[in-house]
Structure 1
Amino acid sequence: MKVRTRLTLLFTLVTAMLMIFYGIVVYYSSKEAREVSFYAELKSEAVAKANLFFQGELTESEMHKLYKNNTQTLNEVQVAVYDSGFNLIYHDDARVDFVKEDKNMLSRIFKNKQISFFLDDLQVIGMVYSHDGKQYAITAAAYDQYGYNSVKHLLMISIISFITILVLIYCAGLFLSKKALNPAVEMVDQIKKITAGKLQLRLDYSETKGEFYALEESFNQMLERLDNSFNAQKHFVSNISHELNTPLASMTTELELALQKEYTAEEYQKVIQHTLEDAQNMSKLSSSLMDLAKASYDPAEISFSEIRIDEVLLDSYAKVRKENLHYKISLTIDDEIEEQHLIRTGNSYLLMVAFNNLIDNACKYSSDQTCTIRVYLISGHVSIEFTNKGIPIAQEDLQHIFKPFYRSETSLNQKGYGIGLHLTDKIITLHHALIAVSAEENTTTFQLVWK
């Protein structure tokens, strides 16, 4: 079921319930008011006939004639008068006695002064009437045909009005919901036009800044992220293809030449050595890509635990020194740093990959393959600096240094793929830390600050 139809039905249902409640209140209020009003009429009629009987000049036969004439055109009130001894002294029509008064009823009238009750469809009232110092019991009974007809007419009008109003409300609800949801329909039409090859398209914004405007804005922002992601992915695949093609082409060439003619043992060893170096380069590239993939996971899917930054840094220091014996690495941890400053929540493997990249990068681009590491506090936050001396990074390259596969002109003579610093930036961001780079004269410094 469409949202438009569901909203209309819900609105119609709520309106119907309110109207039913209102109708029930009105109907029973009208019914109660008719009952009270007719009892008042009965009392008035009983007093009027008693006055005519006791004080008027009409004889009993004339009153009977008046009663019979009235009953031909309307439901006349039937009145009976009894004395204190329970003797009937007047009745409009004793042959057709509706009430059939007995001693118990008359005793209740004299005791309570006034009673009222229903006798089938008839309403009956009994009251005490005083005349010349004597008390009489008067009963009056009649069928309120006009009142009942009015209530029935009100009920019929209410039912017809209820059905008519519900139909009108349903139609109005469809119209208004269509108008209210029209921006959503237009959004759906525009979304259908957006495909993988047309991610540059955007939704048009609504004129009023309401819920749909916020939805359109969020959707456009999502499209912007997807577009950037697709472009980055295309760029990534293109660069990967290029980087993998270089060692593969070199290996293929070396092996083809080795097959075309015979070499000496030394020449074969050289071919094998070159092929091995290309294979090792491919292995390093593959490892870098795997680490980059891990760093690109949803943070919720990465295993985090309590770690000590200094211990991870020492493990990284030892690993790089073991793999590169010619690197010169010095590590200094300020005395003011306490244990609580170094304990963080993170992934030790990824963090060590980031430290390895920074140490290796500093030594590789240093004039004497030296990296100086300093751990200290800055405004109460742990900071780690990786410094090397050599040809500094050009200022125009600093803003691109963390982009994937980006390599500055000064780094082209060194082996690499432009993945390390991009990977490091992602890992440091995952650990809620900041990374910055500065280059002055012949010194380059990478600084990490934990928030």
Structure 2
Amino acid sequence: MNIQTKVTILFFFLTSMVILFLNGFIFLFANHYAFEDFYKRLETRVQIVRSIYSNKNSDSSRVVQNIRQQYLEKLPSEKEYYLPIPSGEQLMTSLPEELPKEFLADLRTNQKARYRQDNKFFAGTLYRSPTELTLVVVSATDPYGFQEMNHLKNILILGFGISILVVYWVGKVFSYQTFKPIREMIHNVQNITAQNLHLRLETNGGKDEVNMLGHTFNDMLTRLETAFEIQNNFVSNASHELRTPLTVIKGEAELALRQPGLTEAHLYSLEVIHRESEKLNQMITGLLGLAQTGFDGKKQNWEAIRTDELIWQVKESVDQLYPQNKIQVDFSKLPPEEDELKVHGNATLLKLAISNIVANACKYSYNQQVIISLQSTDKQVVVQVKDMGIGIPAQELRYVFEPFFRASNTSDFEGHGIGLPLSMNIIRLHKGSIQINTKEGKGTDISIVLPVAEPHVINQVAAQEIPVSQRS
């Protein structure tokens, strides 16, 4: 889950909780004050009932009753209770069953009480006199209040549902706009490769975190470009400075070997010098290639390459090194479309990488059968090189891509431990990978996985191959 989605979900959750809390508060507040008004109306009727019943024969009682009839609307299902309780008699005894016991218990304790049972409301007062207790209770229902509260509840639920949808949409837009500069930065960074380290991220000069991150990336790219240029210069200079004296040593050794009258000791020494200078030349060539593929390859020519044609070129190259090889090319799994065999890269480097692996397969198998197969799956081209050679010890497999490492079972073979690391660097430069399955004494199976060239790369290369005069 990316950060934008996390921010959207967090914003949605927090805002929904706030809206839910606000709706709950509104409902409880409205519920309290709606029924509070109804309770007050009930309590007013309790006072009126007491006045009427306690002064039945007086004029004031008739006045109160007239006021009640003229100005007080009768409540739905209104019922009155005026219950004198003789002194010494329990409150709970001989009372109507419709009066709730909890309500009566509250009356006995506090002399005044309210109670609600579903949609039926009770309000009452307990009056004490020297001779008796008087219980005055009025009950009624409030259907309109309940109906209003139900409407309010439905409105709040509907409003909450609509609100969370709006909140989710707003959160999505908010997070999208918030992380838009980050997405643009990621896109720009992905476009910066070893071939275009001179590119920089755009910054607007602000002091926010995004611009600070952009400046940090630009500083890092500057340091990387400087380091690569230094390495590039070193590789170029070393290539010239090291090869020149080696060429002189080798040439002088060859010239001395042609001189007549050399003793066996002199002849042996000159042959050793010639042989070791050749080894040193090969080692320097491998090291320089390893260093060059490790920094950028930006001066290399990149193009769309057909891997089936590349494999035939590799076979021709290895045939010159090991004429007695038994290389077998298997194209039985080729895809129907030739574009699925094309990769974007440098043909010379890829030929060198695959040639190193195929040459090792021939060398370490004593020129037994080596099978090179090619297939394309899931937008990847897989070149598989399988031999029946000495294999690699399992405990040493992790070290085979380290420069100068040689397995313990390769002492009978010449080598410098540079070929596989060089191949790995080239394949990584082409955004690919190398997978090895091996068993000591049984053979080795190496798979080179490369991404299929994107259609726009293939089209761009094809357009470059068309003469300008033929383009529309």
TM-score, L = length of structure 1? 0.50
Greater C-alpha Rg: 1
> How high is the TM-score relative to the length of structure 2?
0.48
Q: Work out which structure has the larger RCO, using CA pairs closer than 8 Å and 6 or more positions apart in sequence.
A: 2
